[in-house]
Each structure stands twice: as structure tokens, then as C-alpha cells.
Amino acid sequence: MKTFARILRDMLRRRRRYQVTRGGLLFAAAMLLVGIAAVASGNNLLFLIEAAMVSTLLVSGLVSRLSLAGLQLDFQVPEHVSAGRPVSASLYVRNLKRLMPSFSVQVTGRVDPFLSALSGLPPIITSGVYFPVIAGGAEIEESLEVQFQRRGAHRQNSFAVSTKFPFGFLERTVQVNLLREIVVYPCIDPQPGFEELLTAVAGEMEAYYRGLGKDFYRIRPYEAFESARHVDWKATAHLGSLQVREFAREQERSLEIFLDRDVPAALRPWFERAVDGCAFLAWHISERGMGVRFRTQDFEFRLPEEGDIYTILKFLALVQPVSGRVAGPPIDETSFQIVFTAEPRRFADLGWDPAGLLGPDVFPVRAGAGPAAGAAEDQPHGG
């Protein structure tokens, strides 16, 4: 015996809907007037006209149903998708009917009213895609631009397939839910304050890794209390002021990013901004050829030794706050350290004091920040 949840799922999967168009309303009004006239006058010709009009309306519903029958949708996006960044996706429509074509098919994205309150996500496709005709046994691919507003595992791939064929009296709509998970990374594009943060971190890393190694780094002005043996006399004579040779440290420059997951519920919007900040820093620092060690209370990953940047971005796409997790001290004291935490004092006591501690006061939530992002709810498969 089917459970209530399974019955509801089948209803959602097979739900079809008719909507009368303006032309259909005019046709229905004309059919009503002809019917009244036929009954009032007893004219057989009017009865024949009424029968033809009723038959036309029934044929319209049957043909529209056959036009949508046997259609199969597939929606594919690139492997790596970031929130807020438009990407090119492909929509495939297959007509499984071998002999009968489908006419005037419209595909739009939608949010199911039963689940929109839970997910709060906009439809994937904001504008409709129109197919004039899909031949029997054919497959049509349509490229379109989509954009995801939030990070997370998006499972709400809901589409509405509709047609007004053949006469435009009725618009028949079938809902199709694709059971496919799309992992959307946090936003890696510049946001207010992010470029300034990247510039400051890159500058502090450059200053932090200045040293007296073996590789020549640059010639710069002399600073007080420096050894005279590093003075470059040729550059000094050319510029008229003391210049010294500076060498790079022998170790490779790397950034250690720690994301504190122990965040109270009241600071959930700040946690989302911290996740975006981690993704932005990790992405752009790795693009500059520097190493990145990303850590949380229960996750650690070194880039590029253990893999690529997408491993970090995928973790950040799904990470959620967890209370009661204890953080550890820094692992590599030679690396430059950035910590995103709601309680900077707690990390200072753990030995992260020399690091850049970014809390709600230093790294505030931007104005108009929405609620926390999360994974969308599962939807049944259909179509």
C-alpha cells in the first residue's frame, strides 16, 4: 500500500494543468451563444455548428496532450559553477514519439509552490525557451545562460513544459522535476571590501616573506639598522640615495586560511560572508601561484600538494556552522595566516595572535545581506 508521501510525490510528478487563453474565452462565449440560439430557435444548423465547436474544443485538448506526450528533458550545466556568475548551460528536449512531431513547445523554469517556502530559490531558467517544432524521434539542444544566486547543493531542477497547439484555446502545462544535484561554489567575484582585503593580504604576504635568502628579490631604499654589506653601491650612485639588495626567502610563499565553523545562529549571515571571503582569497591567491592551506575544525587541505582549488570550493559550497567544535593551533608557523572567526579572542589564546583575525567587527556583513544559504530540498523525479 502506498504511503501518503509516495502518493503526493506521484501527484507532483504527473501533475498537468490547463489554462484557458483569451482566445479560448472568446471561443467559449461564442459556443455558449450558439448553444442558446440553437435551443431557443430549434434550428438544426445551429445544433450542427454547436457540435462542431464542441468537437473542435475536444480535439484541441487531445492534440495538445499528444503534443506534450513523449517529451523528455535534460538540463546540463558546467562542472564548476560559482554563485552569482552567469554560466552557459544546455537544455535538451527529446521527442520519444517516432512518428508524431510536437509543435509549439515552451519550456520555462519554475519553483514548485509546495516547496518554494522551504528552498526560497528562484527558478533556474528565468526566461522561456521556445521550440516551434520537434520532429518525431529528434533531439534539440538549446544553449542558454543561467545564474545561481546561492551556494549549496541545488536539487530543485523544476521545469514547466507547455503548449497552445493547435488552436490556442487552451494552454496545457506539464511539470517536470529532474533529480540531479548541482553543487554551486561560493561567489568568487569581487564584492564590496573583498578586493581591498585581497590587496592587503597580498601586500602583507609580500612583506612577510621578504628576507635574506639566496634568490635576488629586488633593490629597495635602505632602512635604518640594516647591514651595510647588502648595500648596492651601483644603484646608490645612480639614484643618489642608499639602496640595498633584497633577497627572497627560501621557502615558498603560502597562505593558511582558517574558517571557524563554531558560529552562533545570530551570526549566520556573517558566516556566509566569511565563506565567500575564504573562497575569494583562496581562488585569487592560487591564481598568483602561491600555496594555500585551508583549514576548519574538521577539514584540512593543502594546495597544490593535495589537489586543485576546486576541492576547497566544493567544501565551501556545502559547509555549514557547527557548534562546539574546538579549533587547534597553527600548523605551519612560517606561513602567513588569515582566520575568519566570530570570536577572535579565542583564537588569539590558541596562538593565532600574529595572524590576521577577521571577525564581525573587522570583516562586517555587507548591507542588505540575505538569509543564510543552504542546500535546496530534494524534489521527486518526473517527466
Q: How far is CA 275 from CA 81, 131, 184, 233, in A?
A: 16, 40, 13, 49
Q: What is the pLDDT of residues 339-362, one digit of tens each?
A: 898 888 888 888 776 668 888 887
2 or 62: whose pLDDT is higher?
62
Q: At 2, which helix (H) or strand (E)? A: none
| Contacts of residue 215, Cβ cutoff 8 Å, sequence gap at least 6 | 247, 248, 250
**How far apart are alpha carbons 270 and 345 in whole angstroms?**
17
Q: How far is CA 302 from CA 43, 266, 352, in A?
A: 88, 31, 19
Phi first, then psi: give them for residue 181, nearest 5 degrees.
-95, 130
Max mean pLDDT among 111-120, 134-143, 190-199, 370-379 falls in 134-143
**How far apart are alpha carbons 177 and 136 in whole angstroms?**
23
Q: Output the nine-digit C-alpha cell for 103.
A: 509543435
pLDDT at 239: 87
Q: What is the pLDDT of residues 264-286, one digit of tens each?
A: 888 899 999 999 999 998 998 88
Q: What is the pLDDT of residues 299-309, one digit of tens each?
A: 999 888 888 99
Mean of pLDDT values over 199-224: 69
pLDDT at 169: 85
pLDDT at 10: 47
204 or 295: whose pLDDT is higher?
295
Q: Is the pLDDT of residue 194 over 60?
A: yes
Q: What is the pLDDT of residues 110-158, one digit of tens each?
A: 765 544 444 455 556 666 788 999 999 999 998 888 888 888 887 756 7
pLDDT at 45: 92
Max mean pLDDT among 37-51, 118-132, 203-217 falls in 37-51
**How far apart are alpha carbons 108 and 234 in whole angstroms?**
70
**3-state class (DSSP) for residue 78:** coil
Q: What percentage of the chain has pLDDT greater than the value 90?
A: 21
**How far apart are alpha carbons 127 and 317 in whole angstroms?**
26
8 or 225: whose pLDDT is higher?
225
Max mean pLDDT among 29-43, 148-162, 212-226 falls in 29-43
The domain defined by 1-186 folds into Immunoglobulin-like (2.60.40)
Q: Output the nine-digit C-alpha cell for 309.
A: 582549488
Return the minimum-mean-pLDDT range out of 51-55, 318-322, 333-337, 340-344.
Answer: 333-337
- Residue ranges covered by each domain of the chain: 1-186, 194-208+252-358, 210-250
Which candidate, 214, 202, 297, places its Cα nearest to that of 248?
Answer: 214
**3-state class (DSSP) for residue 227:** coil
Sign of the CA dihedral 358, 361, 366, 372?
positive
Residue 1 binned pLDDT confidence (cut-offs 50, 70, 90) = very low
Report yes or no: 93 and 131 within 8 Å, Cβ to Cβ. Answer: yes
pLDDT at 195: 84
Report the amino acid identity of residue 20.
V
What does the DSSP assignment read for 261-279?
Answer: ----GGGHHHHHHHHHHHH
Report the amino acid identity of residue 347.
F
Q: Output the nine-digit C-alpha cell for 90.
A: 544546455
**How far apart are alpha carbons 358 and 193 in whole angstroms?**
13
User: What integer best gives the mean pLDDT of the chain?
Assistant: 79
* DSSP E strands, the chain: 16-20, 71-76, 81-82, 87-95, 102-109, 129-134, 139-146, 152-154, 157-163, 170-178, 182-185, 210-211, 215-221, 243-248, 254-259, 291-295, 300-303, 336-340, 356-358
Q: Which residues pair with 231 in a beta bridge?
A: 244
DSSP β-ladder status, 336-340 and 254-259? parallel
What does the DSSP assignment read for 21-54?
Answer: -HHHHHHHHHHHHHHHHHHHH--HHHHHHHHHHH
Mean of pLDDT values over 168-175: 85
pLDDT at 144: 83
Burial classification of residue 11, based on how many CB atoms lie within 10 Å of its CB (0-12 exposed, 13-18 middle, 19 or more buried): exposed
Q: Is the pLDDT of residue 329 over 70?
A: yes
Q: Is the pLDDT of residue 259 over 50?
A: yes
Report yes or no: 329 and 352 within 8 Å, Cβ to Cβ. Answer: yes
Strands in 16-20's sheet, in edge-to-edge order, are: 16-20, 170-178, 157-163, 102-109, 129-134
pLDDT at 171: 86
Q: What is the pLDDT of residues 56-78, one digit of tens each?
A: 888 888 888 888 888 988 888 88
**How far apart are alpha carbons 175 and 31 in whole angstroms?**
30
Q: What percentage of the chain has pLDDT greater than the value 70?
A: 79
Residue with cell 635604518: 224
Q: Is the pLDDT of residue 39 over 80?
A: yes
Q: Is the pLDDT of residue 209 over 80?
A: no
